[in-house]
Structure 1
Amino acid sequence: MVATSTLKGKSGECISDVSERRYHDTACIDKELDFWDHCLAESHLNVDLNEDRTCQQLAKMFENCLSRAKKTALNCSSVLVPEKLTLRIARDVVRLASSEPCGLRGCILYVNLECEKGCKRLERIVYDSSVVPTFELTLVFKQDGSAWPSLREFLFMGTCFAPGFKHVLKLSPGFRLVKKKLYSPASAGTVVEEC
């Protein structure tokens, strides 16, 4: 509120001038606060965009790994991946990497598939080979045990494909991530997350 009176105060200044100056100072402070709020919001948005981009890249890396492993380590013609599974894994990987000195750049990622007889190594991914690794992550995909083989698989079993060849491998929405810090004692630096 701006005073319109021109009464003189004890200091000799007009009250209206003092009130207007206070209003002007408050308005300047409000504008400056709005500016900094806007800057902080923009920087937060940039961080979110970078994190989303990194998650998308990681998810694509996981999908490419599964694609390469189809005919070699997995012995199947196709892999069925639950919707957004690779993106969920990527977000967890980014979260686990956030507390590391070099972040995701210092990560070696081992990708495995849990089988009846243990784990089968699919691939080793180094996110940035120019950085000395500070931690390892082991990702373990799980097979969907509830999936029944299709009639087509029964018909083709033993005829067209080599023994042990599965036509379709279906992954479970669950997975396991094991984090091992390379710069601390083994017992203190291991984190296991079951998702």
Structure 2
Amino acid sequence: MPGLWDRFSSSSSRPSSPEQPQQPPAWATAARGEGLGRCASLESSDCESLDSRHSSFGPEEETEYPDEASLPDLELLSDPEDEHLCSSLMQLLQETLSQARLGSKRPARLLMPAQLVAQVGKELLRLAYSEPCGLRGALLDVCVEQGKGCHSVEQLAVDPSLVPTFQLTLVLRLDSRLWPKIQGLFSAGPSSFAPGFSQSLSLSTGFRVIKKKLYSSEQLLIEEC
């Protein structure tokens, strides 16, 4: 899994927190393995339909927070380290999406509009504010909606040396105006694209973030933007 804490710490003079044991406990390893399969297993059109019965962390409920009042004002939660980490994370996310493959062997360069980059970064900071290690403790699963399901793109660990404390599933959406032209990207048949071909696709500014704490059995928190 790509990580960016080393990238950040090498350019920062801030002292880092003590290193955690290199071998995470079994529950953390299980959570990492569960993450990449989460979006791939969503077969319905509702990507929020996560079956908590298959979770090793006990029953959980899905709660929607339709207004921004449910989370504190970001200006009151400013943390220079988290802000730098978030900036690096967004760069890594854009690089990852630019090399994504949707469906079976179909290359696609997914582009994040500037507005989407800003909104996602803001939401990730909001969701990390109450965590003991802040954004460093995040495990980010990146998914893209494709028709009635979700395609898992990548799992990103902000700090691979740290046992993750919470898991974020970022569900992005393709611009709906492009759908008639791109349905072939998700088919399993032989590719009609020439070798080396990469199609650029713009993402919608709408997205969803699902937060799951890995150290408690609290209910899921779903942020839809």
- Is 2:137 the partner of 1:114? no
- Is 2:123 the partner of 1:92? yes
CA RMSD of aligned residues (A): 3.1
Q: How far apart are the structure 1 equivalents of 2:82 and 2:136? A: 13
Which aligned pairs between 1:30-179 and structure 2 lie closer than 5 A? Answer: 49-70=80-101, 75-147=106-178, 161=193, 167-179=199-211
Identical positions, percent: 41
CA apart distance, 1:99: 0.5
Tell me, which stretches of 5 or more residues in structure 1 are unaligned?
1-43
Q: How far apart are the structure 2 equivalents of 1:161 and 1:72? A: 13
Q: Number of residues paired by the alignment?
A: 140
Amino acid paired to 2:146: C
Q: How far apart are the structure 2 equivalents of 1:79 and 1:131? A: 29
Which structure shows the higher helix fraction? 1
Q: Which has the higher contact order (CA 8 A, sep 6+)?
A: 2
TM-score (norm 1): 0.61
CA apart distance, 1:160: 5.4
TM-score (norm 2): 0.53
The answer as to whether partners of 1:56 and 1:87 remain within 8 angstroms in 2 is no
**1:191 match:** 221
CA apart distance, 1:169: 2.1
CA apart distance, 1:84: 3.2
Q: How far apart are the structure 1 equivalents of 2:138 and 2:104? A: 23
117 and 125 in structure 1: CA distance in 2 versus 1, 3 angstrom threshold: same
Amino acid paired to 2:220: T
Q: Deviations over 1:10-37 (max 9, x none)?
A: xxxxxxxxxxxxxxxxxxxxxxxxxxxx
User: Runs in 1 of length 4+ with deviation above 6 angstroms?
Assistant: 71-74
Q: How far apart are the structure 2 equivalents of 1:63 and 1:72? A: 19
- State which structure, 1 or 2, has the greater radius of gyration over its C-alpha atoms: 1
